Structure 1
C-alpha cells in the first residue's frame, strides 16, 4: 500500500505530532521522560511505560503540567516489556484511554552491565539480551498491531547505541554491545517488512512460526522504523562512572570533548517521529559527538 509523499505540510509543522498517540517504553528513565515531554510539547499524546509501579512524583507532575499547557494528554502504565503475556493485556487497557490511535513508538527501555567476558554470568547475559532485544521486539510488535488495526501510518524510533557499531574502549560490556547491534538489524528488518507489501515474498514456508502458511497477507499503511544511536549520556546512573574516572575518559573519546545530555536527543527523535522525516526508514541516526567518526 503506497502512500503519497507528504509535500503539502507547512514547514513549521514538520516536527508537529498533533492527533497522534506515541508510546514510550523505558518512560520513567531520564531519556524517556525527557523525550516524552518533548512529544507533549509538540502536540502528541504520550503513553509512558516502565517496570516501576509509578514514575517519580515530581517528574510526573512536570509532565502533567506540560500536557495541560499544550492541550495534550499523558498516561503511565507499569509494564514488563519482556512478558509476552502481559503486553497485550496492558495495551487492552491503554486502548480505552486514548484520544488518538498510536502513530509512534520510542523504544527507550534497556539495561547494561559490565563484566569481563570469561566471568559473565549467563543469566545476566540472557537478561540483558531479553530486555534490550526481545523486549524491544515485543513492544514494536504490539504497537504495530495497534497501527494495523487502526489502519494508520506510523513511525517507530528504536534506541540503539554507538555500542552497536563499535566496541567501547576500556569497558567490557559484550552482551550490551551485541544486543544494541541487534537493534540495528531489527530496525532494518522491520522497516523492510512494514514499509510496503512488495518487500515480502508471496507465500510462507510452513513451520512452527507459520501454522497457516496459506493465509493471505493484508496490506497495511506503511510504518517507518528507524533507530537512534546515542553516545555517552549524562544521567543519574553515571555517578559511579564519574567516580571511576570513566566520564573524563569518555569525554576524550569524541570530537566535542564532552558527554551528551538527555535533552540533546529531543530533536533527533522528534524528527524521526514526525512528518519531516517522511522518506526515511531503515536508517540509523548516530548522535555520538563524533565518537565513531574519530
Structure 2
C-alpha cells in the first residue's frame, strides 16, 4: 500500500527544487497535493505533469488571505488537509552592516512569518480531519550559525515547531522540522554560485551536496504514519556538517 494513500497535502514553494521533489514523491505515494508558489508557469507545469491528484494555487506565503484561499481550494477539491509542508523560503548572504532593514524584514516575512501563517491557517482543517502532520523546512543554519537574517529565521522556524508541537499534540497533529544542508536545487547551483558550492562541498564529511530527493525521503517519513511518535523534533539532512 502507498505510504500516503488517502491523504491531502499542501506544499509551498513547490514549483521547483525541493518542493517539487516533495510534490512528485507524495503523488507517487498516493497523496493528493496542492502545489503553491509565486511562479505560476512552473507551478502549473508541475501540477499538469502530475495529473488529477495535483493542483496548483498561486500564493504569496506572507499573505493571510492567500493562505485562506489555499485551504478553501484544498478542501473543495480534495477534502480536509492532512499534511502541510512549509517549504517556501529565500536565502540571503550579507553581513549585518550590509543588510538593510527592508531586506531583513523581507526575509523574516518569507522564511518565518509564512510558517506561522501556514500553521495558523491549516490547523483548523487538520482538526476537522482528526489529526495531521506539519513539516517545517528549516536549515542546518537553524542548528548552527550562518548569515544574519537567514540564520535568525531558520532558528525561529525550529522554535515555532517545538511550540506548535506542544500545542497541537492535543489535536492529534504532529509538528517537526527538517534541516537540510547544501542541496543541489536551482537556487543553490545557479551559475554565479556553482563554483563556490562545488568548492564548499569538499568540506562536507560525505564529500558531496545532496539531491532534493534525499530530503524528500525524510519529509515523506514525517508525513506518513510511520513517524506517528515523532513530534517537536529536528531531522537533519546535511551530510554530517553539523556534527563537525
Answer whether contact 2:48 2:54 (CA < 8 A) is retained.
Answer: no
Q: Kindly tell me: are residues 43 and 189 of structure 1, through their superposed partners in 2, closer, same or farther at Cα, counting changes over 3 Å? A: same
Give the Cα separation in 2 of the matches to 1:109 and 1:158. Answer: 10
Q: Quote how far apart the aligned CAs of 1:55 are.
A: 2.3
Q: Which shifted more, 114-123 or 182-191?
A: 114-123
Alignment counterpart, residue 42 of structure 1, candidates 16, 22, 29: 29
Pairs within 5 Å for 1:1-294: 16-55=3-42, 58-64=45-51, 73-98=53-78, 100-148=79-127, 150-168=128-146, 173-196=147-170, 221-237=171-187, 238-239=189-190, 240-242=192-194, 245-294=195-244
Deviation per residue, 1:109-154 (Å, 9 max, x gap): 0011121211101101100011111011101111111112x24110
Answer whether contact 2:81 2:129 (CA < 8 A) is retained.
Answer: no
Please state whether the residue corresponding to 1:236 is helix, strand or coil.
coil
Answer whether contact 1:54 1:78 (CA < 8 A) is retained.
Answer: no
Give the Cα separation in 2 of the matches to 1:129 and 1:250. Answer: 26
Give the Cα separation in 2 of the matches to 1:58 and 1:25. Answer: 15
Give the Cα separation in 1 of the matches to 2:125 and 2:65. Answer: 16
- RMSD over equivalenced CA pairs, Å: 1.6
Answer whether contact 2:10 2:83 (CA < 8 A) is retained.
Answer: yes
Q: Kindly tell me: are residues 57 and 79 of structure 1, through their superposed partners in 2, closer, same or farther at Cα, counting changes over 3 Å? A: closer
Aligned residue pairs total 242
Deviation per residue, 1:64-103 (Å, 9 max, x gap): 2xx6xxxxx10100111111233213422332111x4211
Answer whether contact 2:44 2:56 (CA < 8 A) is retained.
Answer: no
Give the Cα separation in 1 of the matches to 2:55 and 2:47. Answer: 10
Q: Quote how far apart the aligned CAs of 1:251 are.
A: 0.8
Give the Cα separation in 2 of the matches to 1:176 and 1:78. Answer: 24
Q: Quote how far apart the aligned CAs of 1:290 are.
A: 0.2
Which structure has greater helix proportion? Answer: 2
Answer whether contact 2:4 2:224 (CA < 8 A) is retained.
Answer: yes
Answer whether contact 2:36 2:43 (CA < 8 A) is retained.
Answer: no
Q: Which shifted more, 55-64 or 82-91?
A: 55-64
Please state whether the residue corresponding to 2:111 is helix, strand or coil.
helix
Q: Kindly tell me: are residues 89 and 35 of structure 1, through their superposed partners in 2, closer, same or farther at Cα, counting changes over 3 Å? A: closer
Which portions of structure 1, spanning 4 or more consecutive aligned residues, are displaced by more than 4 angstroms?
Answer: none
Please state whether the residue corresponding to 1:27 is helix, strand or coil.
coil
Q: Which shifted more, 229-238 or 84-93?
A: 84-93
Give the Cα separation in 2 of the matches to 1:27 and 1:45. Answer: 14
Please state whether the residue corresponding to 1:241 is helix, strand or coil.
helix
Give the Cα separation in 1 of the matches to 2:55 and 2:44. Answer: 13
